[in-house]
Amino acid sequence: MGMAGKIAIGCVAAVFIVGVLGVVALGGLAWWGKGKIESKLEEIKNDQSRLEAAQKRADAIPFVAPTDGLITEDRLVKFLDVRKRVFAVYEQHKADFEQLQEKKQGDLGDVRKAYNVINDVRTAQAEALADLGMSTSEYQYLIGQVYKSMWATEVAKSTGGKSVSEATGAAFEQMAEAMKASGSTSPEAQKALDQMRAAAAESQENAKQMDVPQANIDLFNKYEADIKKYAMGGLEMIGL
């Protein structure tokens, strides 16, 4: 689990515990009772232990990111198997998750709900990774490559097969040509044209980070339906 993920789940758990204690302080033991508090704290502890155990197994699986950014079909299929299992849990909490996102101000009930949602989804992910033999780092690598492939596929469709960097360079080149076609030969116009061409070169170079191998685009097209089916909007905010 990444540091951001640990902080996210840790903070939610901590806030929930503080909230429970706050209820006792305001309402007295008659509201919750010592036994109920201890039971809830034990439940949280058990949840965390289960998550950490699964995460430890997943983190023990070796992975080295390919330098060429390639996605292999067998690992993409494995990635989708993990997503299917996580999606099943996500769907159970989808309404709660969307409701929490829309709320501007929450209460103790919302904190408890957020804890349950985040913990259940994280545990499902960690256990799926461990069971199916994929490390967290590989899973995150594949998420990044799949999203890049999605974007590259859309760009290719709309530009006649150009890569992201090629499309970026072409767009700037068109603007430069339009400036040149204006017919102005003033020093200011030439300076603006030079700046535009320099910006085009820089932008094209930066956009190369979004280029992906054609093989990745082909795989994305082959598995596009499943990739989109098991997309889980909003989970990026908690590192999933």
pLDDT of 5 above 90: no
Better-scored residue on pLDDT, 188 or 67: 67
Q: How confident is the model at residue 9 (pLDDT cuts 50, 70, 90)?
A: very low
Mean pLDDT within 164-190? 77
The pTM (predicted TM-score) of the whole model is 0.71
Mean pLDDT within 2-18? 46
Q: What percent of the chain has pLDDT over 70?
A: 71
Q: How confident is the model at residue 239 (pLDDT cuts 50, 70, 90)?
A: low
8 Å CB contact between 138 and 63:
yes
Better-scored residue on pLDDT, 107 or 224: 224
> What tens digit of pLDDT does each residue of 21-49 get?
444 444 444 444 556 666 767 777 888 89
> What tens digit of pLDDT does each residue of 79-98 get?
999 999 999 998 887 777 66
Q: Is the dihedral of CA 33, 37, 38, 39 positive or negative?
A: positive
Q: Is the dihedral of CA 181, 182, 187, 192 positive or negative?
A: negative
Length of the chain: 240
The interaxial angle of helices 136-158 and 108-132, nearest 10 deg, is 90
Sequential DSSP letters for the chain: --HHHHHHHHHHHHHHHHHHHHHHHHH-TTTS-HHHHHHHHHHHHHHHHHHHHHHHHHHTS-----TT----HHHHHHHHHHHHHHHHHHHHHHHHHHHHHH-SS--HHHHHHHHHHHHHHHHHHHHHHHHHT--HHHHHHHHHHHHHHHHHHHHHHHTTS--HHHHHHHHHHHHHHHHHHT---SHHHHHHHHHHHHHHHHHHHHHGGG---HHHHHHHHHTHHHHHHT--TTGGGGT-
Mean pLDDT within 44-69? 91
> What tens digit of pLDDT does each residue of 102-154 get?
666 656 666 677 777 788 889 999 999 999 999 999 999 999 999 899 999 99
Nearest-angstrom CA–CA distance, 192 and 40: 66
